[in-house]
Amino acid sequence: MWTGLPVASFEEGRRLGGRRNDPERFERTKALILEIYDAMGSAEESGGPYKSLLDPPPGQGPRHPER
């Protein structure tokens, strides 16, 4: 048995099987990160603001008062 790891963590990892290393999910995440990074670079080059994909934007929404 591995030392330093809780039994629940070890058992959960075995039960999940390949879900944690799903290549398709990794590729989608990678593509989204690269798309956002390119958009940030384009905004910097043009001198305009970067438009975040988050909706509502950070600091806004139902839990925060209007600014």
Eight-class DSSP state of 4: S
Q: Tens-of-pLDDT digits for all 67 residues of the chain? A: 455 655 555 555 555 555 567 788 889 999 999 999 999 999 999 999 998 888 877 777 777 666 6
Contact 64, 56 (CB under 8 A): no
The per-residue b/e assignment along 44-60, b for 16 or more CB within 10 angstroms, e otherwise, is: eeeeeeeeeeeeeeeee
State the pLDDT at residue 59.
75
State the pLDDT at residue 39.
94
